[in-house]
């Protein structure tokens, strides 16, 4: 079997402090993927660091949100058979990437990172992650064990066939539920939960209502016809 032609996509906003290390660790993998960083209007040195560490860079002039950044990245990476998304802030260990690829090579179309629930995870996050994952599982037709985690592998067909409208952090929820409903095979890879000195850009007043709004929309909208396999 020929290995999958993989690209790594790193959405980055104000990520200069940790991005270099993520890119170094990606470059050290046994089969080094093509790497695209989408710099979403950062005012720090994110784009500079990305270039210094050898990544391809796509920059937005102003901040548009993680959903927009991922869609722009997927469009640029449409010639790859699969795209692995991982965060720029070091919370997604690059060393786990081969496990995502192995799951896809074993037949999965969408591979979701599943963070271990540890005491390190802030209690509000623990609750939000459990609650939203249970909700997504109830409406998606397949288990979705970590609906918010951005460490994922998407096969090209998933990216071509799954409609997405989300612009910010609700993008992960939307893609997991919609792809699952279309009948794409979902698998999970366990990843460690990493909290260090990174600063989350998720705003409880702006982003939590958007995520809940997306789950409500997905709950009440008509179900699509599953794809012919």
Ligand X SMILES: Nc1nc2c(ncn2[C@@H]2O[C@H](COP(=O)(O)OP(=O)(O)O)[C@@H](O)[C@H]2O)c(=O)[nH]1
Of the candidate residues 65, 74, 146, 178, the single one contacting ligand X (CB under 6 A): 65
Q: For residues 146 and 185, which CB has a smaller minimum distance to ligand X in the complex?
A: 146
Instruction: Give the distance between the most distant pair of CA atoms in the chain.
Output: 48
CA distance 27 to 135: 37
Of 92, 94, 91, 74, give the one whose Cα is nearest residue 83. 74
Nearer to ligand X, 5 or 118 (CB): 118
Report in angstroms the alpha-carbon separations of 14 from 4, 51, 60, 152. Answer: 31, 15, 12, 21
List the x/- string, 75-94, binding to Mg ion by CB under 5 A.
Answer: --------------x-x---
222: CB partners within 8 A, 6+ apart: none
CA angle 208/213/216 to nearest 5° reads: 130
Measured CA to CA, the distance from residue 12 to residue 24 in angstroms comes to 15
Task: Say how far apart CA 194 and CA 73 lie, in whole Å.
Answer: 24
Closer of 113 and 150 to ligand X (Cβ): 150
Q: Which is nearer to Mg ion, 56 or 198 (CB)?
A: 198
Binding status of residue 91 toward ligand X by CB under 6 A: yes
Q: How far is the CB of 83 from ligand X (least distance, A)?
A: 14
Number of chain residues interacting with ligand X (CB under 6 A)? 18
Q: Is 132 in the site for ligand X (CB under 6 A)?
A: no
Residue from 7, 50, 88, 112 touching ligand X (CB under 6 A): that is 88
Q: Which residues bind Mg ion (CB under 5 A)?
A: 89, 91
- Binding region for ligand X (CB under 6 A): 11-13, 15, 38, 40, 63, 65-66, 69, 87-89, 91, 150, 200-202
């Amino acid at each position: 079997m020929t290995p999958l032609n993989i690209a790594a996509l790193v959405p980055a906003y104000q990520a200069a402090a940790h991005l270099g290390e993520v890119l170094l660790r990606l470059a050290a993998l046994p089969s080094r993927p093509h790497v695209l960083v989408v710099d979403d209007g950062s005012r720090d040195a994110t784009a500079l660091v990305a270039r210094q560490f050898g990544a391809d860079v796509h920059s937005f002039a102003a901040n548009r949100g993680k959903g927009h950044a991922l869609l722009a990245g997927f469009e640029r990476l449409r010639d790859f058979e699969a795209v692995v998304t991982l965060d720029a802030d070091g919370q997604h260990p690059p060393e786990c990437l081969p496990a995502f690829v192995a799951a896809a090579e074993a037949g999965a179309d969408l591979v979701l990172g599943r963070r271990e629930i540890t005491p390190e995870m802030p209690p509000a996050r623990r609750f939000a992650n459990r609650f939203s994952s249970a909700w997504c599982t109830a409406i998606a037709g397949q288990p979705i064990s970590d609906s918010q985690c951005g460490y994922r592998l998407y096969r090209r067909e998933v990216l071509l066939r799954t409609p997405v409208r989300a612009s910010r952090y609700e993008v992960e929820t939307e893609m997991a539920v919609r792809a699952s409903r279309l009948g794409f095979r979902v698998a999970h890879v366990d990843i460690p939960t990493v909290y260090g000195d990174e600063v989350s850009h998720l705003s409880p007043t702006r982003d939590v209502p958007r995520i809940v709004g997306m789950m409500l929309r997905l709950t009440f909208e008509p179900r699509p016809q599953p794809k012919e396999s």
